[in-house]
Structure formats: structure tokens, C-alpha cells
Amino acid sequence: MSIEPTPWQVLCLLVFSLPMGVAGQPLRISVYTPAGTVNRYLSTPADRANAAGVMERFKVSKIWIEGRRGDQYVTPELLTAARDDFRARGFVVSGGFTTVPGKTFGVQSNPGRTWLNFQADQTQRDIIKFFTENAAIFDEIMVDDFYATEDTTPESEQARGNLSWPEYRRKLLVSLIKG
């Protein structure tokens, strides 16, 4: 006779065994800083020193600095200065990008949605430009897409072919990044 655990029992087992599985590893805390926040609160050395002090109190070890979120854009000069300031203070620093359209960035997908039409030429040019600028600054860039996968425009549907939507988007983004 076999007894199947309930979902609740499996969840409890996972939760209570988690501390044992990570006991030998130190807790690492990362902070993701959106582009608007970078421009507003990290634009000067004094601002960055203040932010670093707060993060040190909370034992943050890594900061993700977003370079673009729709029309919110951080210049390469500010990204480089912030990266260098935080690295000098002992933080691990990487870049970030949020895949939403703006008035001057990309093309909106389906009407009423705030996601990119990934197949639109303008979106692809803008993504290529972003990664070209930011890959020169960061070794690692997080694509924060909010699971923004509602672009089912006719252009994207045709380009997708027999691929699943996740496969299509992943293949397209990798092809744009590789150039």
C-alpha cells in the first residue's frame, strides 16, 4: 500500500528542511534598483555613499543597477560611475533591463497592454542599442520582464512559427543580444 503525501505535507517538508539545506551558506541579499531610482537617488557620489551606507546596514552584498525601463533611461556615464562607486565599497554590481515600452523606446504590443511588441523593428533596434551600451559596462545583465509575455501581435505570431511563446521570446532576445 502506497501513501501519497498531500500538497500541504510536501510544502511543510520543503519549508522545514530548507534551513538544513542552506545551513553552511551565508545569507546573501541583493537589491534591484530601477532606472528611475538610479537617476533620482544615485546620481551623485554623495547620493551613492548614502545608499551604500543603508545597504551596508542591511548586509546587502549585490546591487543590480537598471539602465532602462521604458522611457526611464540611465546614461552610460552614470551607470559606470555608480558601478565603480559600489564596487569600490565592496559590492558586487550587475546591470538590469525591464522590457516595457515607452514613448521613445520600443513599440507597444497588443492594445491596452504595457508590454513590448518584440517583433517590431523599432523594439529590436532599441533592445540592441541598450545591450550594446550596457554590455560594455556590466558582465551580467538581468532581464526583468515581469513575465510580460502577452505580446501576441500578428507579427510576433507569424515569427513564432511552431515555437512555444517562451521559446520564441528567448530565441529572439538571445539573437538580438548576440547581434
The residue written with cell numbers 533620482 in the block is: 40
User: pLDDT digit string (tens) for 42-88?
Assistant: 999 999 999 999 999 999 999 999 999 999 999 999 999 999 999 99
The rounded distance, in Å, linking the Cα atoms of 70 and 116 is 9
The CATH classification of domain 25-178, taken from the options 3.10.350.10, 2.60.120.260, 3.20.20.80, 3.40.1670.10: 3.20.20.80
In this structure, what C-alpha cell is assigned to residue 94? Answer: 550587475
The fraction of the chain above a pLDDT of 70, given in percent, is 83
**pTM of full prediction above 0.85:** no
Q: What is the pLDDT of residues 116-152, one digit of tens each?
A: 998 999 999 999 999 999 999 999 999 987 766 677 8
For the chain, domain boundaries: 25-178
Looking at the chain, the number of H-run helices and the number of E-run strands are 7, 5
